[in-house]
Structure 1
Amino acid sequence: MKYMLLIYSNEESWAGLTAEQREGLARSHEELMHELTEQGMLVSAAGLADPITTRTVSVRGDTLTTTDGPYAEAKEHLAGFYLVECDDIDQAIDYAARMPDAKYLAVEVRPVMDSSGLEM
């Protein structure tokens, strides 16, 4: 079953990290991605560009609207993701807990739906 591990961050938590902590965070991600790849569990992973580059698109009737920034007015933003193939949600939660970002803000674990519906 596939799970999306969504990494959340905010400007204050990132700004509060020392250079050493940022390097440690990057190193931890490299180690985790290496482990998941070796185990054949990593489907995809990426960091996301700064929220200032985000555009939110909506269509109402025939009117297309785009706005700058993420849709939600919140301090937190989606910073990156891992798409992993796990045996169950508990295994996905274990990997999410090992992400260094979980110590600073949060990592959300979500089952991924296939074309026939929720893989449960």
Structure 2
Amino acid sequence: MFYAILAYHVEQTVQSWTPEEDAALMEDLLEINARLTRDGKLGPAARLGGTAEAVTLRGPGDGVVIDGPFAETKEQLLGLYVLDCDSQDEAIATARDLRRVNPTAVYEIRPIMLYLPGAPLATGAK
């Protein structure tokens, strides 16, 4: 079954890290990604841009585009992983691995009811 692991963090904390601190954390997280990829468990994963750059589409008809997500939480959704796990326990174990290297993050584990991988995207995100 596919599971989404949604990574939440206090955005101001993440933005306060020096480039070296951020790179060190990403190196640790990418080690987990590499292991999951070798095991054939990892699907798409993404680190999202800041909420200051986000917009939300809501309302009837064509909707209205408004600035930001306006979440009423301390943590913001900053990234996600899609995993192919045999059980929820396996997905939870993976989230625990992620938390070991990023202990101030919060990870929400959710089953995916429909998974459409789409077309492969070119690398080189800006």
Q: Same fold (TM over 0.5)?
A: yes
What residue identity is the alignment partner of 1:96? A
Structure 2, unmatched stretches of 5+, are 116-126
- Asked whether the 8 Å contact 2:8–2:75 carries over to 1, the reply is yes
Q: For the aligned residues, what is the CA RMSD? A: 1.9
- Asked whether the 8 Å contact 1:33–1:42 carries over to 2, the reply is yes
What residue identity is the alignment partner of 1:59? G
2:43 corresponds to 1:35: no
> What is the TM-score normalised by the length of structure 2?
0.79
Match of 1:118 in 2: none
Match of 1:96 in 2: 95
Output the CA distance in 2 between the equivalents of 1:79 and 1:11.
8
Match of 1:48 in 2: 48
The equivalences for 1:1-120 within 5 A come to 1-15=1-15, 17=17, 20-60=20-60, 62=61, 64-99=63-98, 100-101=101-102, 103-114=103-114
Larger strand proportion of the pair: 1
- Asked whether the 8 Å contact 1:56–1:67 carries over to 2, the reply is yes
Output the CA distance in 1 between the equivalents of 2:105 and 2:34.
23
Q: 1:12 Cα deviation (Å)? A: 3.5
Instruction: Give the direction of change, closer, same or farther, for the CA distance of 1:109–1:33 in structure 2 (3 Å limit).
Output: same
Output the CA distance in 2 between the equivalents of 1:18 and 1:89.
35
Output the CA distance in 2 between the equivalents of 1:19 and 1:54.
22
- Asked whether the 8 Å contact 1:8–1:79 carries over to 2, the reply is yes
Shift >3 Å, 4+ stretches:
15-21
Instruction: Give the direction of change, closer, same or farther, for the CA distance of 1:87–1:58 in structure 2 (3 Å limit).
Output: same
Q: Which moved more, 1:66-75 or 1:83-92?
A: 66-75
Structure 1, unmatched stretches of 5+, are 116-120
Alignment size in residue pairs: 113
